[in-house]
Amino acid sequence: MKYFLFIVCCLLLFSCRKLITVDTPVSELPAGQVFNSEALADAAVADIYYVLSGYYTSSMLTVINGMTADELSTLNPSSTVYVNNAIQPADPLVLSTWRDFYKAIYRANAVLEGLATATNISAGKQAGLTGEARFLRAFSYYYLVNNWGDVPLITTTDVTQTATASRAAVADVYQQIMSDLQSAVLLLPETYSSTEKVRANKWAATAMLARVSLQRGNWQDAETNASLVINAGVYLPLSSLDSVFLKNSRSAILQIWLKDGFTIAGQTFQPSNAGTFSFFPLTTDLMNAFEAGDMRKDKWTGTFTYGGSLYYYPFKYKKKIAAYGDDAEYLMVLRIAEQFLIRAEARCRQNNIAGAVTDLNIIRHHSGLADLPADMDQETCLLTIEKERRTEMFTEWGDRWSDLKHTGRINTVMSVQKPGWDSTKVLYPIPQQERNRDPNLTQNKGYQ
Amino acid sequence: MVKHVCNAYGYLFILSLLLFTITVNAQTGKENVRITINSNHIPLSGIFKIIEKQTGYYFVFDNDILDVSRKVGIHIKKMPWKDALSYVLKNKNISWHQQDRRIFLQKKIIPETEPPTDTISGTILTNTGSPLPGATIVIKGTSRGVTSNNEGQFSLQQPASAVLHISSLGFIPVDTTLSAHGIHTIQLQEAVNSLDAAVVIGYGASSRRLLTGSVGRISAQQISAQPIANSLNVLQGQVPGVLVTNTNGLPGAEVKLYIRGRNSIAAGNDPLFIIDGVPFDITPLNNIDELSGAIKQISPFNSISPSDIESIDILKDADATAIYGSRGANGVVLITTKKGTPGKNKLDINIYTGAGKTCDYLPMLSTKEYLAMRREAFANDGETVTVAQAPDLLVWDTTREVNWQKMLTGRTTHITNAQVSFSGGNSNTTFFTGADFYHEGTVIPAPLGYRRGGVHLSVQHHTKDQRFEAAFSGSFTGDKNESIASDVFTFYNLPPNYPLYEKDGSLFWGSSLDNPEAYLRQQSNSKTNNLLSNGVLRYRLLPGLNLKTSMGYADIRMQQVFTFPQSSQHPQNAPVSLTRVGENGRQSYIIEPQADYTLRIARGSLHILTGGTWQQTTSKSAYAEGQGYSDESGLGDLKAADTVIRRPDSRIMYRYISFFTRFTYDWQNKYIINASYRRDGSSRFGPGKQFGNFGALGAAWIFTAENFMKSVSWLSFGKLRMSMGITGNDQIPDYQYMSNYGVNGIYQNINTLRPLRIANNKYSWEENRKLEAAIELGFLKDRIFFSAARYSNSSTNQLVGYQLPGITGFTSYQANLPAIVKNTGWEFELTTSNISHHHFNWSSGWNLTFFRNRLKAFDRLASSSYASSYVIGQSLNIVRGYHFTGVDAQTGIAQFEDINRDGRITSGGDFRTISKRDPDFYGGVNNEFSWKGVSLSFFWQFVKQQGQTIISAPGAMVNETTRALSRWRKPGDVTMVPRATTTPGNPAYNVNANLPLSNAGYEDASYLRLRNLSVGYKLPDAWLKRMQLQLCRVYVQTQNLVTITGYKGPDPETQIALPPLTIITTGIQLTL
């Protein structure tokens, strides 16, 4: 005890301030230090992928988009709100999804701010990481703008600016997305940073740019960018239907790395055991869209019986428990088949029907379907692409939901599918809690 | 300024170090040397030499005052040298005192102006007959007086027939006239629950009579009257201004305590808890979601055994709390543990055992009623009943009937408590040692329970001359809480025909609903070890000047193991067997050197206290998850898992330093003024913001001590007091000013780094300005005692986790709330001794608190993230929502007021304040009767408040309370319960979905509860003598026996959670 007192007295010889000064805790790293090391800065960028691999952004979005569109139905009475497009502003899943995208955006902004003043990082590494952060920010905004319309455009970590942000117009958000993607295309290398395809490269940014260009009606840009990816030469020939969703499959442009080699989607969609059921079966309408002989119906859907009826469930991901080795699965973000569909539509819109049909036939051929003739009219061509996209891209990041929106056909299609449909359902409600905390956030039409 | 404080602080430490050396000397020195002289002719100088030789001290004196060559005859044997010296100097008109190694001799000064006429001698004893040292004997009307010595003896020269005022803290003072003949014996009665009973205050003690601040007190006797596991429960309804609420009825659940209201909705409303001078952090250790089981947060306070507690003092106003400066804003709870008392050794044994049951159940619909409601809902919606939408109607057994509440929380639980203590001591050394054991089962039908065992030791020693004192107390408690990982109360509204099992006996999973039986198989075990220790060294440097150092060490550790067998999880989520292991600990050191000095100035006494604090707390936590077990029986062991994921260990450091001082001036127990100041520095604030100044001023006027009040015989005591001051709050998370990254998840097999927070280096100390005025009155010799206090606390710059929209990347960050929040209230207390007869006594106590919280100002509220939460002029604890106006008699659809009259019901324009979570008033009524050996006491607690309730929007696949029976069924029905509906998107369904967001979800949750009823019988003395016992008492105690409420939810106190238990126990208490 005496010894202890002695130490205390010695400490007193220093100033009082010292006595209440604490060091950075061992489990924390000052931001300055993180952006002073290539490895640490890389870990900060990897974290953005990790956020996006979360439950809400990677899978609930797929499930909810699938239900609010015409892909999924439900056997879970509490999910009927989504199937009936009766989402309340207080919906917890919508809130969490929204927040996780903004979490990713904050982290991307923090990385961009940190890298801007970084010192010990090589120019190449700095460019690559900056490109990835911009790509991921654009990726997040793409889903925000698609589901909620006008959304706050946050490009800084400064809380005094962000806490009371207002919603930016869809066009402004897209402008940010385009500029981020264009910059990412320039900054990112063509190669992947590892042997896996789990970090964005130039082609991932280009593929995303093709998709966004299509959404915005920039047909020529969409075609150009899709061609760049297709001609990159590393994603073809198309992986077989069985292997496309495996990790590092040839057709994958970008996947999300998963520690245990299985996806939440695989877990969610597959019936848990033989004889049990899945909460989110595919709609009859979608199943009817598959042409006879479409191998995707066999390979990518499964069946179960519940209450005497036959149901189909999405079966793109086969794994639902930990899998390591070659049959492990990663979550698909971007794959080459979509680029053919993007280019097909872009060509069709530019009245290059023959070119569009060529691209379509590549996908059809791969699925065991007969080639289509090149002499259809533009309208038929667009509808054919829409159907092909539906059967190819179902339950992947709500592709159907955004596709119907950009073609403007959503009201036509939905009002047939869903009695009482009204056009305000195209957008989700701005989460109530977000509006409570930011008085400048307005609500979308049709919601309280 | 910082420098000055530092210097002062440094001096204090040097002083305390000095104290340490002195005390060492005192212990090992020559204080107790005994000398033997046997001579008829020895010069005084010879005697002095003997003393000098044996003690190592030397004499200092003026040769003129004493002829040292004078020879004396002396025969002493092994007499303490001090006594010997006094003996030889007797009648020589010489006084002596020792300072360090010198012994000074001085001529006694005989006051010439007022020659003494009488010498009065006496002994002061306590009512139990033991000597009372340190009692003050003052000649009334003068400042002259003496204090009694170690044996309680005193001797005083006084003018003839003077009135002596004899007082001692904790005893009822006596005014008496004593004659010069003989040695008088004066017994002082211990002041229990009266004006002069000792009250513990910050860094000291006072009495209710002399207090300038607001302090409430609970004694060991009140604690022992209640069969409770958590000591905070004893405060429920007992002290005005203190609101205690159970969070749920599981053993070990957190008990919330607020002093004078919640200042903010953010965390950090906890008062400062101090146990024997050592701060006790009551922040739950299991602070991550993964480690929060059915009990939710586990309060470390569970690890404090109620039987160890001697008293709990609650400091409320600025005067009482400002000495704790930055940590006093939410009030201070001072807990004093049991100490030994001089006298006969005592062995106390107290054992009780009993049973508990959930006190309320919600009346739910029967299966028949439920299914009818469901069919009606589909019919109302115009939908066909499908397997997908209604497994309860089409798939499950429609004849099955389960009352889920009774099944899941209906068991009778057993409670056992045993404690034993041994205490005693002599006038120099006292000790107390105790051990206790507590066991409580749960109402949940699984082999669960709560066990606690602890030991407590306290030793005090002071030297015979009372100059040096050393005290130590320590306690160690271990508890083990076996519970389940998730709350099963939430299943109260599970459809009554939900099948638990498949036909083959395995758990049923054919629905999206979770299976409650599976929840019972997911365990959460928490073990907590809590060590508290403190030591105090005190040295009286000069008469009236004490140096003191108190040191404390606290160490609390919690280990948690949660197990989730794969078979107990919904297969839809493709689960794996899972073990979660968490270890959390907190170690804290504190050193507080202090000096206090009492001196008489004019006719009053001035007490000065000054001191410093240095505290360091280290919190450590570790968490790991084991996933995948080939055999579920291996669960609980990380080694048996396929994969183990460890989170990086965290280590959090908190440092705190302060300087404090207090001046108390008491003018003849009539006017008392008290000023305190504290300067605090805390590591929780960023550079430049670490230090804050706090202080208070209090004054009291005991007007019954005035001459003009002497004639008012019915008013025995009257005091007016007032206080004002500033306190603060540093209950905020650490490191919030640092912009740091930490490990998040794993990507590509490396740990990813995430920004941990939005750093803010601008936040600074919040200020809580407290103002209080009170009157205290005692009537008819204090048989009726009444006090009324009015307080007004205004806090600015509250430190909160400032809420943010998720678009900022986070949902909160540490900041000052740019608001002024006012807490005002009235507190009343009335204690009466209704009948005080030889055999029969009846006393009552009442207390009542009115409370109001108001947001006075908020900088740019409308554009802030609190725009929709707060309203200027209303409480911070309001609830905003729709105004439910009833059910349309034609359509059966719920209706809400369109407040902004835009023709639509929207949360933006049509929300209004629908409820508030502050109680309007609360209090308690206590009555105690005793007749010979029989005692009976009952205590009613009441709260007037609103609370969240179960609302009825019938039709969905959840069961409803019987209120749903009065739902709308056909046009023309007038009711408050809307039509049954179950289809999202249906207009009726969509509108009814607003019900939980409306005032229909809140109702009056006031209650009057017989919190405690206790009957005891003390065996008569004659029997005790025969059995050689000091005390034998048998008793029956109950908790929550009766609740009177209009509330329709599960329980008005815990609201929508497992209600507290009704407990009946019987016990026996023996003292040998």
**Residue B771, φ and ψ in degrees, nearest 5:** -135, 135
| B811 contacts in chain A (CB < 8 Å) | 99
Does residue B101 belong to any structural domain of this protein? Answer: yes
> Residue A430 carries which DSSP code?
P
Q: Do B187 and B126 form a contact (C-beta atoms < 8 A)?
A: yes
Q: What is the predicted pLDDT for the residue at B26?
A: 37
Q: What is the predicted pLDDT for the residue at A426?
A: 96
Stretch among A301-310, B16-25, B373-382, B397-406 having the lowest mean pLDDT: B16-25
> Best interface-test mutation with A: which of B509, B682, B747, B814 has the largest number of A CBs within 10 A?
B747
Q: What percent of chain B clears pLDDT 90, i.e. is strictly above it?
A: 45
> Residue B293 carries which DSSP code?
B
Q: What is the predicted pLDDT for the residue at B20?
A: 42
Handedness of CA B205, B211, B216, B220 (dihedral sign): positive
| B2 contacts in chain A (CB < 8 Å) | 15-17
Handedness of CA B804, B809, B815, B818 (dihedral sign): negative
Bridge-based pairing state of the strands B1031-1039 and B1007-1018 = antiparallel
Per-residue pLDDT band at B355 (split at 50, 70, 90) = very high
CB of A419 within 8 Å of a chain B CB? The answer is no
Residues B293-303 have a mean pLDDT of 83
Q: What is the predicted pLDDT for the residue at B1005?
A: 94
Q: Do A114 and A30 form a contact (C-beta atoms < 8 A)?
A: no
How far apart are the C-alpha atoms of B117 and B119, rounded to whole Å?
7
CB of A55 within 8 Å of a chain B CB? The answer is no
What is the CB-side half-sphere exposure of residue A89 using CA atoms within 13 A? 22
> Residue A318 carries which DSSP code?
-
How far apart are the C-alpha atoms of A241 and A315, rounded to whole Å?
11
Q: Does the pLDDT at position B303 exceed 90?
A: no
How far apart are the C-alpha atoms of B647 and B1063, rounded to whole Å?
41
Best CA proximity match to A253, nearest among A213, A215, A206, A189: A206
A382: tokens are 């667009």
Fold that domain A34-81+90-263+326-413+423-437 belongs to in CATH: 1.25.40
CB of A440 within 8 Å of a chain B CB? The answer is yes
Q: How far is B656 from chain A (nearest CA, A)?
A: 6
Closest Cα in chain A to B509: A276
> Best interface-test mutation with B: which of A9, A18, A117, A159 has the largest number of B CBs within 10 A?
A159
Amino acid at B696: A
Amino acid at A114: G
B604 DSSP β-pair partners: B601, B667
Residues B830-846 have a mean pLDDT of 90
Does residue B168 belong to any structural domain of this protein? Answer: yes
Question: What is the per-residue pLDDT across B647-688, written as a single tens digit (0 to 9) for each?
Answer: 888 889 999 999 999 999 998 889 999 999 999 999 999 888
Q: Do A203 and A189 form a contact (C-beta atoms < 8 A)?
A: no
Per-residue pLDDT band at B267 (split at 50, 70, 90) = low
Residues B936-956 have a mean pLDDT of 91
Helix (H) / strand (E) element for B35: namely strand B34-43
Q: What is the predicted pLDDT for the residue at A11?
A: 44
Partner-chain contact B754 A267, CB within 8 Å: no
| B690 contacts in chain A (CB < 8 Å) | 17, 20
CA B532 to chain centroid, in Å, comes to: 16
**Residue A174, φ and ψ in degrees, nearest 5:** -65, -35
| B5 contacts in chain A (CB < 8 Å) | 16
Q: Do B486 and B288 form a contact (C-beta atoms < 8 A)?
A: no
Q: What is the predicted pLDDT for the residue at B185?
A: 81
Same-domain status, B71 and B123: no
How far apart are the C-alpha atoms of B814 and B800, rounded to whole Å?
6
Q: What is the predicted pLDDT for the residue at A273?
A: 66
Q: Is A14 helix (H, G, I), strand (E, B) or coil?
A: coil
How far apart are the C-alpha atoms of A178 and A212, rounded to whole Å?
7
As a three-state string, the secondary structure of B595-624 is EEEEEEECCEEEEEEEEEEEEEEEEEEEEE
How far apart are the C-alpha atoms of A338 and A251, rounded to whole Å?
10
How far apart are the C-alpha atoms of A272 and B570, rounded to whole Å?
9
Buried b (16+ CB within 10 A) or exposed e, B385-405: beebbbbbbeebeeeeebbbb
Does residue B44 belong to any structural domain of this protein? Answer: yes
Question: What is the per-residue pLDDT across B1017-1070, written as a single tens digit (0 to 9) for each?
Answer: 999 888 888 888 888 999 999 999 999 999 988 899 988 888 889 999 999 999
Q: What is the predicted pLDDT for the residue at B480?
A: 93
Helix (H) / strand (E) element for B895: namely strand B894-896
The sheet with strand B153-158 has its strands ordered as B153-158, B118-126, B183-188
pLDDT greater at residue B986 or residue B827: B827
A432: tokens are 């109530």
- Give the number of beta-carbon pairs within 8 Å between A and B: 283
> Best interface-test mutation with B: which of A29, A436, A442 has the largest number of B CBs within 10 A?
A436
- CATH number (domain holding residue B174): 2.60.40.1120
Stretch among A166-170, B58-62, B807-811, B932-936 having the lowest mean pLDDT: B58-62
Buried b (16+ CB within 10 A) or exposed e, B775-788: ebbbeeebebbbbb
Q: Does the pLDDT at position B11 exceed 60?
A: no
Q: What is the predicted pLDDT for the residue at B17?
A: 44
Residues B43-48 have a mean pLDDT of 79
Dihedral of CA atoms B190, B194, B200, B201 in degrees, nearest 10, equals -140
CB of A322 within 8 Å of a chain B CB? The answer is yes
Helix (H) / strand (E) element for B935: namely strand B934-944
| CA distances in angstroms from B936 to B272, B913, B1017, listed in the order given | 34, 45, 9
CB of A78 within 8 Å of a chain B CB? The answer is yes
**Residue B634, φ and ψ in degrees, nearest 5:** -80, -5
Q: What is the predicted pLDDT for the residue at B934?
A: 93
How far apart are the C-alpha atoms of A448 and A443, rounded to whole Å?
7
Number of domains chain B contains: 2
Partner-chain contact B957 A1, CB within 8 Å: no
* In chain A, residues 201-260 whose CB comes closer than 8 Å to chain B: 257, 259-260
Q: Does the pLDDT at position B233 exceed 50?
A: yes
Per-residue pLDDT band at B109 (split at 50, 70, 90) = low
Per-residue pLDDT band at B570 (split at 50, 70, 90) = confident
Q: Is B857 helix (H, G, I), strand (E, B) or coil?
A: strand
B355: tokens are 């049973």
Per-residue pLDDT band at B29 (split at 50, 70, 90) = very low
Q: Do B985 and B383 form a contact (C-beta atoms < 8 A)?
A: no
Q: Does the pLDDT at position B282 exceed 60?
A: yes
Partner-chain contact B985 A441, CB within 8 Å: no
| CA distances in angstroms from A269 to A62, A147, B128, B945, listed in the order given | 11, 22, 79, 47
Same-domain status, B83 and B38: yes
Does residue B1014 belong to any structural domain of this protein? Answer: no
Partner-chain contact B755 A163, CB within 8 Å: no
Same-domain status, B122 and B183: yes
Measure CB to CB from residue A50 to each of B5, B390, B747 and give the nearest one. Answer: B747
Closest Cα in chain B to A97: B806
Per-residue pLDDT band at B151 (split at 50, 70, 90) = confident
Does residue B77 belong to any structural domain of this protein? Answer: yes
Q: What is the predicted pLDDT for the residue at B657?
A: 93
Domain final residue pick, B57, B82, B107: B107
| A199 contacts in chain B (CB < 8 Å) | 748
- CATH number (domain holding residue B50): 3.55.50.30
How far apart are the C-alpha atoms of B580 and B564, rounded to whole Å?
8
How far apart are the C-alpha atoms of B341 and B425, rounded to whole Å?
6
CB atoms within 10 A of CB A4: 12
| B862 contacts in chain A (CB < 8 Å) | 439
pLDDT greater at residue B466 or residue A141: A141
Q: Do B1068 and B1029 form a contact (C-beta atoms < 8 A)?
A: no
Amino acid at A179: S
Q: How far is B973 from chain A (nearest CA, A)?
A: 28
Same-domain status, B87 and B140: no
Preceding omega of B115 cis (within 30 degrees of 0): no
| A329 contacts in chain B (CB < 8 Å) | none
How far apart are the C-alpha atoms of B990 and B984, rounded to whole Å?
6
Q: Do B214 and B320 form a contact (C-beta atoms < 8 A)?
A: yes
Does residue B157 belong to any structural domain of this protein? Answer: yes
* In chain A, residues 396-415 whose CB comes closer than 8 Å to chain B: none
Q: How far is A46 from chain B (nearest CA, A)?
A: 6
A294 DSSP β-pair partners: none
Burial of B957 (0-12, 13-18, 19+ CB in 10 A): buried
Q: What is the predicted pLDDT for the residue at B954?
A: 92
Per-residue pLDDT band at B191 (split at 50, 70, 90) = low
Domain spans, chain A: 34-81+90-263+326-413+423-437, 274-314
How far apart are the C-alpha atoms of A186 and A191, rounded to whole Å?
13
**Residue B370, φ and ψ in degrees, nearest 5:** -65, -50
How far apart are the C-alpha atoms of B439 and B416, rounded to whole Å?
5
Partner-chain contact A19 B957, CB within 8 Å: no
Domain final residue pick, B158, B188, B218: B188
CB of A195 within 8 Å of a chain B CB? The answer is no
How far apart are the C-alpha atoms of B587 and B300, rounded to whole Å?
13
How far apart are the C-alpha atoms of B145 and B156, rounded to whole Å?
7
Does residue B50 belong to any structural domain of this protein? Answer: yes
Q: What is the predicted pLDDT for the residue at B110?
A: 53
Q: What is the CA radius of gyration of chain B?
A: 34
CB atoms within 10 A of CB A142: 22
Residues B608-623 have a mean pLDDT of 93
Partner-chain contact A28 B741, CB within 8 Å: yes
Give pLDDT < 70 ranges for chain A. Answer: 1-17, 273-275
Q: The domain containing residue B37 runs over which residues? A: 31-107
Q: What is the predicted pLDDT for the residue at B138?
A: 78
Best CA proximity match to A257, nearest among A58, A15, A5: A58
B517: tokens are 């039986």
> Best interface-test mutation with B: which of A437, A441, A443, A447 has the largest number of B CBs within 10 A?
A437
| A99 contacts in chain B (CB < 8 Å) | 806, 811
Question: What is the per-residue pLDDT across B761-799, written as a single tens digit (0 to 9) for each?
Answer: 889 888 889 999 999 999 988 889 999 999 999 988 888
Q: How far is A221 from chain B (nearest CA, A)?
A: 31
| B808 contacts in chain A (CB < 8 Å) | 102, 106, 154, 159, 162-163
Per-residue pLDDT band at B13 (split at 50, 70, 90) = very low
What is the CB-side half-sphere exposure of residue B378 using CA atoms within 13 A? 19
Q: Do A238 and A299 form a contact (C-beta atoms < 8 A)?
A: no
Q: How far is A294 from chain B (nearest CA, A)?
A: 28
How far apart are the C-alpha atoms of B424 and B432, rounded to whole Å?
7
Domain final residue pick, B173, B188, B203: B188
Does residue B53 belong to any structural domain of this protein? Answer: yes
Q: What is the mean pLDDT of chain B?
A: 86
Q: Does the pLDDT at position B19 exceed 60?
A: no
